[in-house]
Chains A and B, each alone.
Chain A
Amino acid sequence: MTNLQKYAQAFITCFGVTEDKLAELTYQSISEWDSVGHMGLIAELEDIFEIMMDTDDIIDLSSFEKGKEILKKYDVEI
């Protein structure tokens, strides 16, 4: 699996959404992505890419697109 596939799969697993909905996904845009869902997502991403994210990045990861940029900081190219 490519990093993009792994990244997308994390959102699909955590929020139970289909792939075509991913691009428009933002924090609180669906009921699954609330604070609880968010922490689940962060844990999943940290697991998959073996990283440990900073406070600011955890908070800033507020959309599917934004997350790609943030992961770059941790040397994860999506």
Chain B
Amino acid sequence: MWKFSDYADSCAAVDELRNISYSELENAGDTLAKVVGGRALVFCLCRNTIGSLIGYTGFINNGIVPLLLDEGIDKELLSVLTDTYKPMYLWMASEIVTEFKFKVTYQTHGFSLLKTDFDQFPMYENLALLLTTSGSTGSPKLVRQSYKNILSNTQSIVEYLEIDYTERPITTLPMNYTYGLSIINSHLFAGGCILMTTKGILQREFWQFFKENKATSFGGIPYTYEMLKKLRFFKMDLPTLRTMTQAGGKLSPELHREYAMYAKEHGKRFYVMYGQTEATARMSYLPYKQSLNKYGSIGISIPGGTLTLIDVNGNEIIEPEIIGELVYCGDNVTLGYAERGNDLIKRDEFNGVLHTGDMAKLDRDGFYYIVGRKKRFLKIFGNRVNLDEAERLIKTEFDVECCCVGIDDKMSIYITSDSLLRDVKLFIAKKTGLNPSSFEVKFIKEIPKNEAGKTLYSALEGLA
């Protein structure tokens, strides 16, 4: 996957405590892999530190399959995942090992390897990595990525973002999140130095770390850019910053224009991109030179991939300004999903074609614009939250009639009990790992339904 030996003495990563060269990263990963002792499934509870990175790269380099999870994952979901996929090992920060009953077999760089006593499910030989479909509401559904998927997407990203060994991206996203991971993958591929911090943009330590380590780039979801604007980002003095990328949901055209303008005036690059976990990470990008005159657009397909639009009959739409479903073809289209342990042996089911579920149109110059969604889900702070799944969870937990609608970053939940409003809000926030303010729970006497008993979502959207 990577060629760590090409950059042996260069710095691969810096975190709040230490730094590590490419050769040290390679050696630490190989040593860890030897302890694991062969192809196995390992759950990684990620945080943005070097220990976490050693696990991820060491596993990928040695044919060990990691499932990357956030270390703050809901404990109930983690136990569902553990029971479903039966990992042979877990890799996590040493200070949280006491929360688990498994035995620690190896420790390095503040991380620990824990051995379970599960019998391993057989895994398809090309399976490299498992990720959750972002923000999945309590479901054990995973995306299966191959070595070829990761390599092809990584090479493509390095090419279109023109990443080289001088780059020093600072982490602003979790590494278990496909977009955050793609930043790590591409910069390690190009010999850059990853600045890993557990702090966020609302913490003083983040900006200190940024300046001390001369960060050259960062990525952000739409909410990151909203917060940065509020933090008076446009007035900050960040001479080392060269590039900003955005993905994980649709940035408002107005903000897109403001950042594009800022970038142009300050000699920086701003890229809006589009992707999904099912495409390893990226599918499109808007070249930075076009960011101002094409604001609001997700751009063009990444090198090596093809975007097309299809109508309801599956025929390709060629004329501009006609809305259709966005379909992507390329080597980074993942193998498919897993929902149970026996699915890990499955081969390629998508065969290089991904129906994104996003509705888009093309302008006369060949640039794509997302206009809506085919499926019932919202993006809340970069996380995909399925509305039907949210309803199912609430109904099961509370024995109440429930209906979920909303817009990105704000879900409206209607329930037929006025005494449960706060409980439902806290429950769904905990299940999704999102801030309670993302959810608005309202009382409704009766869920509007048609004669066939189907929920009339349009009637509720009018109320919201």
Contact = CB atoms under 8 A, between A and B. Distances in A.
Nearest to B236: A55
B227 interface: yes
Nearest to B436: A32
Nearest to A34: B435
Nearest to A61: B202
Interface of B is mostly: helix
B420 interface: no
Given A16-B422, A58-B231, A32 B435 contact: yes
Contacts of B353: none
Range of interface residues on B (Cβ < 8 Å):
20 to 34
Contacts of B226: 39
A58 B206 CA distance: 14
A36 B231 contact: no
Contacts of B200: 35
A32 B437 contact: yes
A28 to B, nearest CB: 9
A19 interface: no
B400 interface: no
A35 B227 contact: yes
B203 A31 contact: no
B209 to A, nearest CB: 13
B202 A40 contact: no
Interface string A46-70: 0000000011001110000000000
A10 interface: no
B54 to A, nearest CB: 26
Contacts of B425: 16
A14 interface: yes
B99 to A, nearest CB: 17
B435 A54 contact: no
Contacts of B430: 31
B231 A59 contact: yes
Nearest to B226: A39
B258 to A, nearest CB: 17
Range of interface residues on A (Cβ < 8 Å):
10 to 19
A68 B200 CA distance: 23
B204 A40 contact: no
A42 interface: yes
A14 B232 contact: no
* Closest CB pairs A-B (n = 9): A36-B435, A55-B232, A55-B231, A35-B202, A59-B204, A32-B436, A34-B435, A37-B435, A38-B202
Interface of B: 200-204, 207, 223, 226-227, 230-232, 235-236, 381, 422, 425, 429-430, 434-438
Given A36-B435, A55-B232, 18 more contacts: A16-B422, A16-B436, A27-B202, A27-B203, A31-B430, A34-B435, A35-B201, A36-B437, A37-B436, A37-B437, A40-B437, A42-B230, A55-B235, A55-B236, A58-B202, A59-B204, A59-B207, A59-B231
26 contacts: A14-B437, A16-B436, A27-B202, A27-B203, A31-B430, A31-B436, A32-B435, A32-B437, A35-B202, A35-B227, A36-B434, A36-B435, A36-B437, A37-B437, A39-B226, A40-B437, A42-B230, A43-B230, A54-B232, A55-B235, A58-B230, A58-B231, A59-B202, A59-B203, A59-B231, A60-B204
